Structure 1
């Protein structure tokens, strides 16, 4: 159980402001932008720094998910709680993912960011998007469902597939819970191991400023800030829509659950800056799990909601899907009826599943959507290829915040949210640094 300290300041001397991770990452992002802008070749050459950091984080994601889920489920007295939590989580994901698609659809029809460009699809270079289209064709519903099942038990922990890790972790956790007292020693050992793994996470996070610097320098160096000016209407509309979704839609949800969305954002500021710098929400997944536990969400809920949300609760990606699709249609003077737009929305809902927080996943799922709806030319994706990297950052940020909100909401639905710990986290009061042990759901 998390222990919240008294409101009075702790006797220990607080860290200097320049030692905080969020400040270091912010400085790294600014430095990356400057290097990428004034020395583009050097910026592009720094790409391995960002790639290396993301690989470091991916290395630890599977153990974090496995240990969090297994110890959480094994600590439950009633295994029916697992199905109940999963059911509530998926109901939440389905509702808000669909709402995000409708928000993108409405904004695209009201603002019409692509109107007036009068692009002839025949003049577009389709070869630029052929790679993404090929990957999209490889993704089918049957293939996706079969892909959830790993080749072996251990491969689920080594191949970096979040859904496979989730699948194996849930099964193993249930198995461990069913053997009762005989599994208690193993559960205790896994809880001790999870403390060590989260300590490794804290060590890896010290490299976050370096990774953010390299990733941002590469992005600006390769694509240039000037690229944004060419499609400023689309980029601006997407960022504004995502901001309104977070502050208004998720803000209302947060208020109904008794916390402020702005305080949640402030609580996760270091992780959000890391997502901004690397354009990947996966880079902050282990830290999100740890912080949501500190904020009073039980380990069993965090372990199920956060990893699952990375594939099924993609609010930012869904806004992007409909907004980008209709932008391409408007730019190419393709008129879509309401029925065709709803078909587009339905296809986007299916094709977006499984697009975890990896850079470029949103572009691939967009290709998958357009390939099924022939009215909109897939070649039109070449129009937004240059700015997709900049929109990827906003997608990842929106997805990340959405999953944090979902975790608190499901925890409250379960009646398992530690209100005192949540209040302490939202107001910046100290909580114990280590992740909490498994919390029994009632």
Structure 2
């Protein structure tokens, strides 16, 4: 893998217009222009299908990549206790960092007060589908981790269910010893083939970003960006503070620079920005983290788990949106109630993970638990939630990437020399995906 990575870096640099992040950035800008200038065209089913189709293509390979990565990672290790150790460290890290994210949302919401003086009238009917949606309890959430059938889990693309089965399969192969060698080799080879498929899919990323952005702007109109600009700006500011300060300090203690890391995953961040889906970048993120020097077993366990338990952007949104609605409706919240917000949000953000409209569903559950009078106020943020969801996804994927590097370091399974070389050198997303497809498993 070293030889391949070095060779890719030493190869002549391709023209800028062939770089994935340049293509995606151009596609996003073109999507905004088309959405503003030709809204009727931008909202046609064909344009919308570009974004939806790309996300479906990515989701197509998520389940097999998670399965192969986790099973291969566990079955190749010698110490079975390591899996439980990594899992415990990951969950503890997730809860601590999530608490910081929730607290930042509360603090900035109290200082900036983006909802003070709001004169709009909420339309409660607009969010009835989210408010009335069934919210799963924490017990139901853990029961749902167990799939009714393995085939069903893969067919639905349920990340946690696939992860649960993959862990069991990995331990099973580990316990079989040398008898499982042929099956381990088969899974490793299948993983390389799936990463090859991912390489083809990633070439469609600019088309997906264009379609998703053009449709969004065309449907909601450019004015929606300024209707509640204060809340949007506050949310982005709070997320930036979290990334630069909290994740920046964590990265510094772990031995790397957060800004260099952000530049390293710029392709994935732009894909997330264009599609508003953190899942669209999950497979490529896993490949890049391995290329960075993180062990395959840690990447395979931490990244999929983090997509359900490490939702930093969602946590910031929930506390900030709750304060915004309380301020807009002129409902004073005591310090005790705000602490309740923090505690309830910590639970509800896990309970509705993976549910369509999870951001709104968890917000509804939090508002109902703190003060039911605030639930109709969800309609205030309904029109701009699409634009806030992009920032939620961006913050979530950055948080999961940092968590994987940190936990790899804790486990002593981070190649720091390679990490420093990669972060200080040029990166090519397609070359990294091809490396994962071509190189034999360790």
Instruction: Say if 1:36 and 1:218, in contact at 8 Å, map to a contact too.
Output: yes
Which residue number corresponds to residue 24 of structure 1? 23
Contact 1:280–1:358 (Cα < 8 Å) also in 2: no
Q: Does residue 185 of structure 2 align to residue 184 of structure 1?
A: no
| Cα shift readout 1:61-87 (whole Å, capped 9, x = no counterpart) | 000000000000001100000000001
Q: What does residue 96 of structure 1 align with? A: 97
Q: Are residues 152 and 110 of structure 1, via their aligned partners in 2, closer, same or farther at CA, if it must alter by over 3 Å?
A: same
The residue that corresponds to 2:301 in the other structure is 304
Q: Say if 1:279 and 1:359, in contact at 8 Å, map to a contact too.
A: no
Distance 1:3 1:421 in 2: 12
Deviation of 1:2 (Å)? 4.0
CA separation of 1:319/1:196 partners in 2, compared to 1, >3 Å: closer, same or farther?
same
Which of 320, 324, 334 is matched with 1:323 structurally?
A: 320
Match of 1:209 in 2: 206
Contact 1:133–1:364 at 8 Å: present in 2 too? yes
Whole-Å separation in 1 of the counterparts to 2:242 and 2:90: 19
Structure 2 equivalent of residue 164 of structure 1:
161
> Whole-Å Cα distance in 2 between the matches of residues 100 and 417 of structure 1?
26
Deviation at 1:363, TM superposition (A): 2.1
Q: Is contact 1:7–1:429 with CA below 8 Å preserved after alignment?
A: no
RMSD: 1.9
* From 398, 404, 410, the counterpart of 1:413: 410
- Tell me if structure 2 keeps the 8 A contact 1:408–1:417: yes
- Check 1:54–1:358 CA distance in 2 against 1; reply closer, same or farther (3 A cut): farther
Matches within 5 A, 1:98-117: 98-117=99-118
The CA deviation at 1:43 is 1.3
Aligned to 2:63: 62
Secondary structure of 2:79's match? coil
In the alignment, which residue of structure 2 is the partner of 1:80? 81
CA separation of 1:118/1:214 partners in 2, compared to 1, >3 Å: closer, same or farther?
closer
Residue 208 to residue 65, structure 1, CA distance change in 2 (3 Å): same
**Aligned equivalent of 1:285, options 282, 295, 298:** 282
Structure 2 unaligned residues grouped into runs of 5+: none
Aligned mates of 2:380, 2:356 — CA distance in 1: 18
For the residues of structure 2 that align with 1:2 and 1:306, how far apart are their CA atoms? 23
Change (3 A) 1:94 1:50: same
Q: Is the Cα–Cα contact under 8 Å of residues 4 and 420 in structure 1 kept in the other structure?
A: no
Q: Is 1:130 aligned to 2:134, yes or no?
A: no
Give the equivalent residue in structure 2 for 1:393.
Answer: 390
Instruction: After TM superposition, give the deviation of residue 361 of structure 1 in Å.
Output: 2.6
**Which is helix-richer, 1 or 2?**
2
| 1:9 to partner: Cα distance | 6.3
8 A contact 2:4–2:435 mirrored in 1: no
1:49 aligns with 2:47: no
The range that moved more, 221-230 or 47-56, is 221-230
Give 1:438 deviation, angstroms.
5.9
* Distance in 1 between residues matched to 2:142 and 2:353, nearest whole Å: 15
User: Given the two structures, how large is their TM-score scaled by the length of structure 2?
Assistant: 0.94
Distance in 2 between residues matched to 1:9 and 1:20, nearest whole Å: 14
Q: Which moved more, 1:144-153 or 1:320-329?
A: 144-153
After TM superposition, the structure 1 = structure 2 runs for residues 250-399 of structure 1, keeping only pairs within 5 Å, are 250-353=247-350, 360-399=357-396
Question: Which has the larger displacement, 171-180 or 424-433?
Answer: 424-433
Count of residues in correspondence between the two structures: 434
TM-score by length of 1: 0.94
Structure 2 residue matching 1:179: 3-state secondary structure: helix
Q: Corresponding residue for 2:423?
A: 426
